[in-house]
């Protein structure tokens, strides 16, 4: 009897889950937040963060710096950790839009400059012959990029998704974007060598510069959610009651 009761409860729970899923999918008010969520997640995954972090040691190794790749990576990781801590306080103090714009701008400038560095020192000369002043430029660029990502599009992506989505459908949108995020990370990591072969390092970094400029433009138009109540956000996105 107990096994039959447990089986019936499981069937009821599955039925309720499927009913809740269908009910969420029928909500027209989740379409706009869902599209924005996927766009923001696309920016997060394809802004160049995965390739920069994945290729960090190679970037530092080829920079010609007097510091070893391990030392350079340690410095950059320490800066990134400090930025994450500072960013935790900044996110609640400043608006989502302004942080998104600042983050996108810093990432575009840093990765664009890194592309210029590779274009000059890899396409026209041996990078090992670069001056000591320019050899630390990749370290500066990478440090700025990962710092901007750590307080900007990295954590902001999840906050924006949670805030703009109707409370009843947050689980659906968050789970969907989480899967999409994992797929995006996989694609970026395994396409790194292919991109470097097709576009060279500088071309790849300039491609991500364009993506980050798009983030800045997008940040200008996205509705601000900081300090707004659920009802106020609901009026912006026309939630169904």
Residue of 211, 220, 231 whose CA lies nearest to 50 = 211
Domain ranges of the chain: 52-237
CB 181 within 8 A of CB 44: yes
Task: Decide if 70 contacts 181 (C-beta within 8 A).
Answer: no
pLDDT in tens, 174-228: 999 999 999 999 999 888 889 989 998 899 999 999 999 999 999 998 888 888 8
> Which one of 1.20.1250.20, 3.40.50.720, 3.40.50.150, 2.70.70.10 gives the CATH number of domain 52-237?
1.20.1250.20
CB 61 within 8 A of CB 69: yes
Q: How confident is the model at residue 148 (pLDDT cuts 50, 70, 90)?
A: very high
Q: Is residue 143 within 8 Å of 216, Cβ to Cβ? A: no
Q: Show the DSSP H helices in the chain as ranges.
A: 2-25, 31-46, 49-54, 56-61, 69-93, 96-123, 132-135, 137-151, 153-164, 170-190, 192-221, 230-237
């Amino acid at each position: 009897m107990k096994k039959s009761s447990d089986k019936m409860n499981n069937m009821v729970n599955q039925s309720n889950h499927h009913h809740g899923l269908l009910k969420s999918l029928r909500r027209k008010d989740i379409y706009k937040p869902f599209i924005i969520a996927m766009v923001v997640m696309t920016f997060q995954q394809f802004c160049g963060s995965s390739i920069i972090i994945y290729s960090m040691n190679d970037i530092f190794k080829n920079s010609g710096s007097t510091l070893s790749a391990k030392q350079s990576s340690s410095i950059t990781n320490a800066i990134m950790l400090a930025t994450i801590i500072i960013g935790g306080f900044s996110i609640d103090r400043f608006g989502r839009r302004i942080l998104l714009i600042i983050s996108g701008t810093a990432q575009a400038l840093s990765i664009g400059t890194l592309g210029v560095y590779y274009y000059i020192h890899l396409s026209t000369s041996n990078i090992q012959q670069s001056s000591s002043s320019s050899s630390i430029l990749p370290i500066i660029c990478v440090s700025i990029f990962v710092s901007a990502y750590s307080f900007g599009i990295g954590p902001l992506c999840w906050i924006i998704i949670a805030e703009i989505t109707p409370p009843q459908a947050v689980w659906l949108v968050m789970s969907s974007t989480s899967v999409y995020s994992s797929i995006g990370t996989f694609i970026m990591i395994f396409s790194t060598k292919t991109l470097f072969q097709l576009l060279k390092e500088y071309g790849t970094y300039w491609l991500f510069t364009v993506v980050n400029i798009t983030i800045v433009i997008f940040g200008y138009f996205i509705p601000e959610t900081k300090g707004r109540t659920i009802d106020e956000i609901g009026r912006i996105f026309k939630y169904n009651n």
